[in-house]
Amino acid sequence: MAVLEMQRIGICAMKKDRKKLLELLQQKGVVEIDAHVEEDEVFKKMDTSSSRNIFEKNAQAAERALEILQEYVPEKKGMLASLEGKALVDARSYDSVIKRQDAIMSKARQLVSLSRQIAENKANIQKRENQIEALEPWKNLDVPMNFMGTRKTEGFVGTVSELMNTEQLYAAVTQAVPDVDAFFAEVISTDRDQTYLCVICGKKDAPVMEEGLRSIGFARPSQIGSLLPADRQEQLRGKREALIQKNEEIISQIAAFAEARRDLELVADYYRVRLDKYEVLGGLIQSKSTFLITGYVPKRDGESLKQELDRNFTLSVEVTDVEEEDIPPILLKNGKLAASFEGVVESFGLPGKGEIDPTAIMAWCYIFLFGLMLSDAAYGLMVFLACAIVLKKFPRMGEGMQKSLRLFMYCGISTLVWGVLFGGYFGDVVDVVSRTFFGQQVTIKALWFVPLNDPMKMLVYSMLFGLIHMFLGLGLKAYMLIRDKKYLDCFCDVGLWVIFLMGLILMFLPSSMFASISQMYFTFPPAVNTLAKAMAIGGAAGICLMSGRDNKNFALRIALGAYDLYNVTGWLSDVLSYSRLLALGLATGVIASVINSMGSMAGSGVVGAIVFILVFVVGHVLNLAINILGAYVHTNRLQYVEFFGKFYEGGGRPFNPFNMKTKYVDIKEEN
């Protein structure tokens, strides 16, 4: 349980070594390099943006190529593939990829251009299809679309925006051009809002006819070709087929690149790593022949890093303790169990300056409370086994995932223990099965008591656990204050509160109100009762006087103290908040027994057993899922609000070392 102590590191080395040195630092991955350093007369930053652009482009091209491969030749992955983590690649094949990087990049570029061709072809296929679609109404026309007439006649091919059949068309045309006596009109087809038609008349009547047709809303089509519409459609279909064919060929070409996948992954990571290096390089200040690196290094790595650097380069390394005004980044260091719970602390906020790392203590509270909320032996066993098996099977899964699974594994054990204490095994499945199928009820006795039968007892214990949890938080606050030698603060902000609250609790325990709620009777000797009153009053008076001690104005000081005393309502609501331990524990058990009794409704016998098994599996999986979610959320809440609220603020900056940030593979280090 600790926040790792950080030290400042300053390196001044020869410029000719800079790339080698950065590579070494990147491989070690223990230094966080300051990003913002001021330039001065002698030391200037170098512009690396052009090389960075090239690396960025190459990395993107390789990643794009991988996406293309994934799209057209998907890698077969199991359901749990996301748990496998990054593949481990030995340094030799990494080096060989670096040597072949140009060849691999040309493959990547080919893939990108192939996929661009596919996209273009697809656009063209769509275009052809639209054209075919547009010709659909014309396909019964037996003259070309651009038919203007013969030697003696004039043709009009087009649409009117009115629905009519051939008779109506004749009537409309006759009405529009009463003087023309010989013409031919035909409706080709109609759709929702247009009529497609063709009208032919003698050459001499053409101008009149055109005028007349326009008056009924005639318009020539936008797509005009010299082929018969049906032939044109056929031609377009042929082109479309050719394009589809072509795309299939391209896809099979892409498939041939499938074995380059691993190379592409390596090369993408390689460029990302180099990009990082050049970003750091661009941030360094350099003189004519030297350069400077400043940053943070964890104390445990400082000395060995210094030695290694001294051995390999001509340089000057300085490792010093952090100054008072520095705000070092935070790196947590915990044992295996506690480390699984670092994620919970991280998502609240890493320890701020001067705060302790609460992970280890919180981890035990977390396990305790989570188990209490889920509290079913069978569920606990299932969660434990599932997590343990997955952890065993995928040793290389990502660190974050591994930590959360381990968290649930430990919580599963605690759930198992609480389940045994409370007598929950899939709710009451033993009772139900024995009663329904074997005619005789067997009950596994709870080791402690059954909360459903005695909810008041459980409630009182929930609040007791809550009080212990919160006093623990207060204790940690006292620890931090004592460590910083703020004894007065420790006495006023923690001691007085403890006295005050203990007094209140001791006064409350023997009261008739508590007895009626909990059915527990406490009688203290009168001396204790007097002591309780004295503690409560003394504590309250102390808080009143001392809370606002920074204030010179006495009236204001008392007012602030009284306001602080009002926080006792906060304590009350915090304690009540732990009643969720009871509520969630009951929810698991009650829903489980609802499922069991639903399953047993079909009675005994073979059919009954089948129904029971079906209901049992579906129901309990659902119940488990929803209650794990509930227990997770509410345990987090109890930690964040009730526990951390007493002593912890967070707000630390995570340690972000300069290292190999790879996306696809991990490179095995050579020793």
Binding site for another protein (CB under 8 A): 344, 346-348, 452, 455-456, 459, 576-577, 579-580, 582-583, 586-587, 590-591, 593-594, 597, 626, 629-630, 633-634, 636-637, 640-641
Assigned token pair, 564: 């602080």
- Dist. CA 458–CA 440, nearest whole Å: 29
Which residue number, 159 or 600, has a Cβ lying nearer to another protein?
600
Q: Is residue 484 classed as helix, strand or coil in its secondary structure?
A: coil
Question: Are 477 and 647 a contacting pair, CB within 8 Å?
Answer: yes
Q: How far is the CB of 232 from another protein (least distance, A)?
A: 40
Q: How far is the CB of 346 from another protein (least distance, A)?
A: 8
- Dist. CA 262–CA 665, nearest whole Å: 9
Q: How far is the CB of 595 from another protein (least distance, A)?
A: 11
Phi, psi of 335 (to 5 degrees): -65, 175
- Dist. CA 559–CA 537, nearest whole Å: 17
Which residue number, 184 or 521, has a Cβ lying nearer to another protein?
521
Residue 77 per-residue DSSP state: -
Which residue number, 51 or 636, has a Cβ lying nearer to another protein?
636
Q: How far is the CB of 407 from another protein (least distance, A)?
A: 13
Phi, psi of 296 (to 5 degrees): -110, 145
The dihedral through the CA atoms of 410, 416, 418, 421 has a sign that is negative
- Dist. CA 334–CA 344, nearest whole Å: 13
Which residue number, 430 or 456, has a Cβ lying nearer to another protein?
456
Q: How far is the CB of 596 from another protein (least distance, A)?
A: 12
Q: How far is the CB of 455 from another protein (least distance, A)?
A: 6
Which residue number, 146 or 597, has a Cβ lying nearer to another protein?
597
- Per-residue buried b or exposed e for 75-99, using 16+ beta carbons within 10 Å of the residue's own CB: eeeeeeeebebbeebeeeebeebee
- Per-residue buried b or exposed e for 416-442, using 16+ beta carbons within 10 Å of the residue's own CB: bbbbbbbbbbbbbbbbbbebbeeeeee
Q: How far is the CB of 644 from another protein (least distance, A)?
A: 11
Which residue number, 131 or 636, has a Cβ lying nearer to another protein?
636
How far apart, in Å, are the Cα atoms of 611 and each of 433, 442, 605, 614, 617? 12, 21, 10, 5, 10
**For the CA atoms of 388, 393, 396, 401, what is the dihedral angle to 10 degrees?**
-40
Which residue number, 294 or 579, has a Cβ lying nearer to another protein?
579
Q: What is the CA radius of gyration of the chain?
A: 40
Q: How far is the CB of 201 from another protein (least distance, A)?
A: 57
Which residue number, 285 or 591, has a Cβ lying nearer to another protein?
591
Strand partners of residue 428: 425
Q: How far is the CB of 274 from another protein (least distance, A)?
A: 26
Provide the angle, in degrees to the nearest 10, between the axes of the packed helices 605-637 and 579-599.
Answer: 170
Q: How far is the CB of 404 from another protein (least distance, A)?
A: 11
Phi, psi of 547 (to 5 degrees): -60, -45
Which residue number, 132 or 628, has a Cβ lying nearer to another protein?
628
Which residue number, 398 or 455, has a Cβ lying nearer to another protein?
455
Residue with tokens 């993408």: 268
* Closest residue by Cα to residue 115 from 64, 45, 173: 64
- Dist. CA 555–CA 559, nearest whole Å: 6
For 153, the enclosing helix (H) or strand (E) is: strand 153-160
Q: How far is the CB of 457 from another protein (least distance, A)?
A: 12
Which residue number, 162 or 346, has a Cβ lying nearer to another protein?
346
Written as one string, the DSSP assignment of 550-595 is T-S-HHHHHHHHHHHHTTHHHHHHHHHHTHHHHHHHHHHHHHHHHH
- Dist. CA 105–CA 111, nearest whole Å: 10
Which residue number, 27 or 636, has a Cβ lying nearer to another protein?
636
